[in-house]
A and B are shown apart, each in its own frame.
With several copies, the nearest count.
Chain A
Amino acid sequence: MIHISVQQSPIDIAAEMTRAEAAGAGAVATFTGLVRADDGVGTLELEHYPGATEATLLKVAEGGVARWQLSAAIIVHRVGPMHPGERIVFVAATAAHRGAALEACAYLIDRLKTDAPFWKRETRGADAQWVEARDGDHAAAARWEARDGDHAAAARWEARDG
């Protein structure tokens, strides 16, 4: 089961967990990203590339399902304006055993960070600023390719970042 959503509305964790658990397997790992409440941001705005976003998230989820034989992969990403403490992103991976669920969950969020066309703008007081991409995100995503021996894919990403 794959569920992808790019939405303006708040992310309902209980509803998403019910979806993840309905797959009947033994292990669910999740990751939730929040607007940090501790660094002075008043509003966070998420822009995305409609169409391309959904296609990318679907590809990421399908990759996780294929690699870890997941019974469920869920990616929910919020767009538009949001406030400190609110959820930006939720991913879940459901598998028979915890090793697969935990690894797949890390994979989904690492890939999403580098592959999905979202852009964050933070407003602190009167100052609005686009968030810069972090090198660490590409390192995190790259480790999945190194382990794959998927050199073609790795090369593609290096080219894209060069």
Chain B
Amino acid sequence: MAKIRMVYFAWVRERIGTGEEMVEPPASVVTVGDLVDWLAETSSGHAEAFENRSRLRAAIDQDFVPLDTPIGRAQEIAIFPPVTGG
């Protein structure tokens, strides 16, 4: 699988300890949810950030998507809390 640029915001970014990283998930990772599961194994920060799936939102190449969306040929995937703008 190709490399994916992960970007994180708000408390997801804070818990992981970085706003972005390049990752190369195995072929078994199909959906954004699979990617989150896989990333949660990579550090305690990731595990803590991804603890409660119902509080996570995602975007593939800057389009908002549900977590069960297939990654496809994504170049940039964002994981973040529900938005609170305005």
Is the CB of B80 closer than 8 A to any CB of chain A? yes
The contact string, 1 if C-beta is below 8 Å from chain A, for chain B 1-17, is 00000010111010000
Contact of B9 among A47, A77, A133, A134 (CB under 8 A): A47
B82: chain A residues within 8 A (beta carbon): 132-133, 161
A117:B83 contact, CB within 8 angstroms? yes
A46 and B85 within 8 A (CB): yes
A88 touches B59 (CB 8 A): no
Q: Please indicate which of the listed interface residues A98, A112, A130, A134 has the most CB atoms of chain B within 10 Å of its own CB.
A: A130
Distance in angstroms from A94 CB to nearest chain B CB is 16
Name the prevailing secondary structure of the A interface residues: mixed
Q: Are B59 and A118 closer than 8 Å at their CB atoms? A: no
What 1/0 flags go to B46-80 for Cβ under 8 Å of A? Answer: 00000000100101001011101000000000101
Chain A nearest CB from B4 CB (Å) reads 16
Q: Which of A55, A112, A113, A160 neighbours the largest number of chain B CB atoms within 10 Å of its CB?
A: A160
Range class of the A interface residue count: 20 to 34
> How distant is the Cα of A161 from the Cα of B11 in the complex, in angstroms?
18
Contact of B86 among A118, A132, A160, A161 (CB under 8 A): A118
Task: Give chain A interface residues in 19-69, CB to chain B under 8 Å.
Answer: 33, 46-49, 51-52, 55
B interface, CB within 8 angstroms of A: 7, 9-11, 13, 54, 57, 59, 62, 64-66, 68, 78, 80-86
Question: What are 10 inter-chain pairs, A to B, with CB distance below 8 A?
Answer: A47-B13, A49-B9, A49-B59, A49-B62, A116-B86, A117-B9, A131-B84, A133-B83, A159-B68, A160-B65
